[in-house]
């Protein structure tokens, strides 16, 4: 049984928008629609059934230059993402956002990169390797 290997180019990721552009380049090639910039959408994608994962029980994803991605999706990007959500108070819980921003400021909060890694880890059908 051959394993499909997909390659994420970490050097192409400079912010959250370019992260999803890279996810779409790798996972959604050949599809007539693109994945939106959403952690829930990323989670749904990794369950499989469409895009590059369609028809595969398991895949390997190699994330090259992950250190670049870690920095790009780090504290600054996460802060901007949370503040953007905070600017829409009727949509998101401000107490939760404030707690996340506070934790981030204290250096103990999860970054966007950390959340992405947790999502990948929750999918045993997707084997992630890095360099």
Same domain, 13 and 41: yes
Q: Kindly list the distances between the CA atom of residue 123 and the CA atoms of 55, 59, 66, 79, in Å, as whole numbers in the listed order.
A: 16, 10, 19, 26
Name residue 64's beta-bridge partners. 9
Q: Print the domain residue range for 100.
A: 75-110
Same domain, 82 and 95: yes
Same domain, 129 and 96: no
Length of the chain: 131
pLDDT digits (tens, 9 = 90+) for 57-79: 899 999 999 999 999 999 999 99
The CA dihedral of 83, 86, 88, 94, to the nearest 10 degrees, is: 170
Same domain, 10 and 51: yes
pLDDT digits (tens, 9 = 90+) for 26-43: 999 989 999 999 999 999
Query: Which pLDDT does position 2 carry in this prediction?
Result: 58
Structure pTM?
0.95
- Short-list 20, 22, 31, 79, CA closest to 53: 31
**CATH code of 129's domain:** 3.30.370.10
């Amino acid at each position: 049984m051959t394993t499909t290997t997909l390659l994420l180019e970490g050097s192409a990721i400079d912010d959250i928008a370019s992260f999803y552009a890279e996810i779409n380049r790798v996972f959604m090639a050949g599809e007539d629609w693109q994945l939106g910039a959403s952690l829930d959408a990323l989670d749904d994608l990794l369950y499989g059934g469409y895009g590059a994962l369609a028809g595969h029980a398991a895949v390997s994803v190699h994330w090259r230059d992950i250190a670049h991605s870690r920095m790009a999706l780090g504290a600054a990007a996460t802060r901007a993402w949370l503040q953007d959500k905070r600017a829409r108070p009727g949509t998101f819980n401000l107490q939760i956002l404030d707690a996340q921003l506070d934790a981030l400021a204290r250096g103990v909060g999860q970054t966007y990169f950390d959340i992405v890694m947790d999502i990948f880890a929750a999918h045993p059908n997707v084997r992630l390797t890095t360099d």
